[in-house]
Chain A
Amino acid sequence: MEIKRGIPVSPGIAIGPALILDPEGVRVPQRLVEACQVQEEVHRLRSALAAAARDARSSQQKVDHQLGRQFGAIFAAHAVLLEDATLEQEIVDLILKQHHAAEYAVSQVVRRAIKRFSDFGEQHFMASRVADLRDIERSILYHLSNQRRESLRHLRQQAIVLAHDLTPSETAELDPTFVQGFATESGGRTSHTAIMAGALQIPAVVGIGPFLDDLAGGDLVIVDGNDGLLIIAPDPHTLARYQAARSELISLASQQHSQLRDLPACTRDGVEITLLGNIEFPHESQNCIERGAVGVGLYRTEFLYLGRQTDPSEEEHFEAYKDVIHTMGAKRPIVIRTLDLGADKFPPNRVSQYPERNPFLGLRSVRFCLRNLTLFKTQLRAILRASAFGNVRVMFPMVSTLLELRQCKMLLAEVKEDLDEEGIPFDRDLQVGTMIEVPSAAIMADQLAREVDFFSIGTNDLVQYTLAADRSNEQVASLYSAADPAVLKLIQQVVQAANRQHIEVNVCGEMSADPIFTLLLLGMGLRTLSITPHNIPVVKKVIRSVSLTDAERTAQEALQLETARDVTNFLREQTRRLVPDVLH
């Protein structure tokens, strides 16, 4: 038995066999395969090489067409390399003779070539071609990992998913009914894994540090999402203890939910707060209903795009939206957020790609949509069509300037005209909102507020961009805090701007789901929160235990504090005082 400690990000206990995902990217660990799997590895390699060569050919045609043949030629060279018999033989030899996994063999062979190139010397004309070799390696590895994901999609038994980190596209392909829990080596409270686990309401522990070498797929593991533990191969005593705790938790939770679900989210002095749910997949709207959400405040639509070779059709969008309307009913609001992904999340053959040194500051989200109008308009059409069937609203993510917002609205107007001409019904008064998650948008909130019906403050990105700290980088993660006074000032400005223009405003980031911030947000003037369904009961409990006077006093005092730590400590103290049993 081995016990590993990490950060608990989603409560509960899961017990089951381990399913291990390989670390992503080019840092392939040395991995060997069993003798009986060698032929399978060779087969995987060959189909990955063929797929990578096809990608290169299609990039060549695209670039030939867009920029001219002299630019496409580089991809022709890549394709010829990917089809090269000698290259294939070198990799196959490593698999056959050394029993290397295909990924590792590819990296070894490419690395040897890179070494050879750099041995020619820096001035040598081949030294600058190292980037081409890395490109080829990346492309082969991409297709190899795609194959693995393929098998993930076919997961047909309950398992606990263990990984270095989970990418959005990997999680999008997991069938949630078979995933009992997550444990990852890296990541923090706001990592994608944490969000997913919250959405799926399964236990998760992240930031454990290296552990994947310590176990094999199929080993029995326990994920303790309450105390942040991963237990590998538990002894019979521990296993029995956890099994008992798990059944107790389940009965307790269902009892609490049914008690709270039908009670209003009202403060002690009678102020009603609107609690909406954040969802990632259509089936989660059921969780919203079960937890007492009065609508969907954030319907992320990325799952429609991920893990596939073609863009989703208008019908696929439409069906996914109709699905949620069907569950939520025609009256409850459903805020659909348009695609919020970086170009780096798409396979290279689907969108034109330029290497980005800094994807977080690059072509992503609405910026990407405004450069890929067909893709964008398809989604807008489907949203508009769905609006004929329910209380649908549209929301644009990552707007950083007024001009971007206007472009989005102009496109929406164009699509409306098209639908009108075709005689297709839609809601003419479809409400339009914008996410406030870039500091520039928060600063310009007064101007933006005049042109939209509502704001939704996306605190995850707002915190990241305000403090210039990547939340998944352990070295700087401590800077990343929603409690930072700089973040609070921006949120306050946004709420005030929305109030001045009489538009709705809500918070839909992780911050709104953390009960420690509920008092503060209420006190700052927020009357709507959009929360991962799992946390609705706990936030509702805080709301029902406090008065608006408590909240306003807390906010006033918190906004005077100078550091994130002071704010966090103060809020914890206040929350504990007013709602004693809500925080761990």
Chain B
Amino acid sequence: MQAQPLIERVTIANPQGLHLRPATILAITAQKFVSDIWLIASGQRINGKSLWELISLGAACGTELIVEVVGSDAPLALAAVVDILSTASPEEDMDSLSPG
């Protein structure tokens, strides 16, 4: 049974945009969930778990994105992703970059 996707619109708050470090945090966070996580912007549909795809988006501060999440832990995943995208400087949270 295909669950209904959860969708939320979000604006990138980091003044430097979705650069390498916030994108890394986003990818690592997204990978912790079983749900599929998609970011949709300027006609592209990006896998939120792929840092490679995230950085190729090159989304600047103020860019509007649609976050689309499908899966059993979708509500939690959506909240976590939106939180990172709409926070000004998520890189304070260095713990999330530790291995394992």
Interface residues of A (CB under 8 A from B): 57, 60-61, 69-70, 72-74, 76-77, 79-81, 84-87, 90, 113, 116-117, 120, 124-126, 129, 132
Contact = CB atoms under 8 A, between A and B. Distances in A.
B55 interface: yes
A84 B50 contact: yes
A85 B27 CA distance: 12
Nearest to B28: A80
Given A77-B24, A132-B20, A70 B94 contact: yes
Nearest to B16: A125
Interface residues of B, number: 24
Given A73-B24, A80-B27, 19 more contacts: A57-B99, A69-B94, A73-B21, A73-B94, A74-B20, A74-B21, A76-B24, A77-B21, A77-B24, A77-B51, A80-B28, A85-B49, A86-B52, A87-B52, A113-B56, A126-B19, A126-B58, A129-B20, A129-B55
Nearest to A84: B52
Nearest to B53: A86
A120 B59 CA distance: 10
Interface of B is mostly: helix
B58 A80 contact: no
Contacts of A86: 47, 50, 52-53
Contacts of B49: 85
A418 to B, nearest CB: 36
Nearest to A132: B20
B97 A76 contact: yes
Given A69-B94, A125-B19, A80 B56 contact: no
Interface in B38-85: 47, 49-53, 55-56, 58, 60
Given A57-B99, A77-B24, A86-B53, A120 B58 contact: yes
Nearest to A112: B56
Nearest 4 A-B pairs (CB), nearest first? A86-B50, A76-B97, A87-B52, A84-B52
17 contacts: A60-B97, A70-B91, A74-B21, A76-B24, A77-B21, A77-B23, A77-B24, A77-B51, A80-B24, A84-B51, A86-B52, A87-B52, A113-B52, A117-B58, A125-B17, A126-B55, A129-B55
A73 B51 CA distance: 14
Nearest to B99: A57
A74 B23 CA distance: 12
Nearest to A119: B58
A254 to B, nearest CB: 60
A60 B97 CA distance: 10
Given A73-B24, A80-B28, A125-B17, A116 B94 contact: no
Contacts of A77: 20-21, 23-24, 51, 97
A124 B28 CA distance: 24
A69 B91 CA distance: 11
A73 B91 contact: yes
A116 B56 contact: yes
Contacts, number: 70
Interface of A is mostly: helix
A125 B21 contact: no
Nearest to A56: B99
B60 A125 contact: yes
Contacts of B58: 116-117, 120, 124-126
Contacts of B91: 70, 73
A412 to B, nearest CB: 40
Contacts of A90: 52
B85 to A, nearest CB: 15
Contacts of B55: 81, 113, 126, 129
Contact of A129 (B19, B53, B94): B19
Nearest to B47: A86
A116 B16 CA distance: 18
A72 B20 CA distance: 13
Contacts of A129: 19-20, 55
Q: Which of B16, B28, B97 has the most CB of A within 10 A?
A: B97
Contact of A61 (B47, B56, B60, B99): B99
A147 B53 CA distance: 28
Nearest to A61: B99
B44 to A, nearest CB: 11
A90 B47 CA distance: 14
Contact of B51 (A60, A61, A69, A81): A81
A79 B24 CA distance: 10
A465 B48 CA distance: 52
Interface in B1-37: 16-17, 19-21, 23-24, 27-28
Contacts of A79: 99
B52 A81 contact: yes
A118 to B, nearest CB: 11
A387 B80 CA distance: 65
Contacts of B17: 125-126
A90 B50 CA distance: 12
Contacts of A87: 50, 52
Contacts of A117: 58
A326 B83 CA distance: 70
Contacts of B20: 74, 77, 126, 129, 132
Q: Which of A81, A85, A113 has the most CB of B within 10 A?
A: A81
A124 B55 CA distance: 12
B9 to A, nearest CB: 22
Contacts of B99: 57, 60-61, 76, 79
